[in-house]
Amino acid sequence: MSQDTPPLPAAGPARTEALREACAAGVPAARADLEALVRIPSVSARAFDQAHVAASAEAVADLLRRAGLPEVGIRTATAVVDGEEVRSAPAVVAHRPAPAGRPTVLLYAHHDVQPPGRDEEWTSPPFEPTERDGRLFGRGTADDKAGVVVHANALRTLLPLWGPEDGVGVTVFVEGEEEVGSPAFAAFLTEHRADLAADVIVVADSGNWRVGVPAITTTLRGLVDCVVTVSVLTHPVHSGVNGGPVLDALTCLARLLATLHDEAGDVAVRGLLTGTAGEVDLTEAQYRADAGVLDGVLLAGTGSVADRLWAKPAISVIGVDATDVERASNTLVPSARAKVSVRLAPGQDPAAAMTALRRHLVAHAPFGARVEVAEGERGSSFSADTSSPAHEVARTAFEQAYGAPVVEMGMGGSIPFIADLVAEHPAASILVTGVEDPDSRAHGPDESLHLGDFERACFGEVLLLDGLAGVPAPVTAPGDGGSAGAATGARRS
């Protein structure tokens, strides 16, 4: 704490108000920081210039230094991917040691972004942040450069107010390859394990219930995907001369893909688990509006909307390779392929799910067509322990910041690296937060951030970190892998 900074009041309304004023004073600078990050096209997909990802890491490191963290560095790790040794994209790791008896909190976000897609589908340029109607548009405004800046702003607010014996230990970990599946994440955790040990892990990569209503994500679905190829001929043949006795590969592929769901639209692959989301007030009308479902299109599947979205498997065909319509000739297509993505119910083993998917596709080959399945990505699901003291602090913090009760919600998407965090630090409490809302359109054209929720998220994290100082660090045996208390003392910079 600076000699010119008055001490914070004790816990209570006066302290909350002091923190609110300090956080609000820093919001304009936080927005400027966010806009500067968004202007860096840090697309981690390998077809794009990776120099921008490196520049983004440098910008994040500079931001965390300016936030007051005493130790900031850019790190990489070596992993074996598909039998080849690869170096990870640059990540930023920063640290503030924990005062005696206080927990260490790991703050996660990622600085890489999805490809922008077609420029003509954006109302304004994807890497030029633009405000319209209280929202900031641009690739990464919500996913996940806002998460990076929320972390930085919280620390810039708190560190001048905390004395050396106040607050919590903080480690900030900003990854650079989340949008390509975090291929080196497990290796990074292993290589830098001591530097990333924590009692509480805050993953700022999810969303809120809606604008003005905060949420903590308590479950995430897992993921497997594959490319299925259907072949019926050794080469294209004339569709008139040869059509009839053999169905073309694209028709056979369509018939095969149609077997993945039953008549009600439920997943028809045997061996995939299904669950329930509990009592959640998610209406069909709300879902249709949030997802942009066209009038007249019926929703698929059975059970509540929340069950279908968060607790049951979902299968989507996300890509097809076949002859272009404009270039099509009157020939039977000999081979066609599709990419099939499966979201898994919480608790489903990804390896078992992939086995079930492969078995189904091979068994349902239409008319004896040759079916080949190339396995792709796998990711585990997540279910949080919502009874932890950290979750109680988080609920209180975000309710105060947003002025509305926190919704504990599931998420239909997947964040597979959380399973790696849990495996590496099994005793840590995991809090999945975020700044997105149902209209953020992450990954799509016109991605945006609601600026009011951005300010509320900044304040919520200030209250969260300040509140976690009241949660004692657990006392555990050295080397058990779960303690921030033990790990903080053992950490060497």
As annotated, the active-site residues are 112, 178
Residue type, 48: F
Write out the DSSP string of 219-234.
EE-EEEEEEEEEE--S
Nearest of 123, 129, 159 to residue 145 by alpha carbon:
129
* Rounded CA separation 96/72 (Å): 9
> Rounded distance, CA 313 to CA 333, Å?
32
> What are 51's two structure tokens?
């120099």
Q: What gap in Å lies between CA 208 and CA 406, rounded to an integer?
A: 9
Closest CA to 59 of 126, 136, 111: 111
DSSP state of 331: E
Nearest 5°: CA angle at 377, between 373 and 382? 130
> In whole angstroms, what is the distance from residue 298 CA to residue 316 CA?
16
3-state SS assignment for residue 169: strand
Instruction: For residues 182 and 180, give the distance between their C-alpha atoms in angstroms, rounded to a whole number.
Output: 6
Q: Is 464 exposed, middle or buried (0-12, 13-18, 19+ CB in 10 A)?
A: buried
**Do the beta carbons of residue 168 and residue 102 sit within 8 Å?**
yes
Locus of tokens 């979902």: 314
Q: Are 138 and 126 in contact (CB under 8 A)?
A: yes
* Chain centre to alpha carbon of residue 235: 43
Name the phi and psi angles at 46, rounded to 5. -65, -15
- Contact between 427 and 480 under an 8 Å Cβ cutoff? The reply is yes
Give the Cα-Cα-Cα angle 99, 100, 103 (nearest 5 degrees). 70
| Strands, E assignment, 237-298 | 237-238
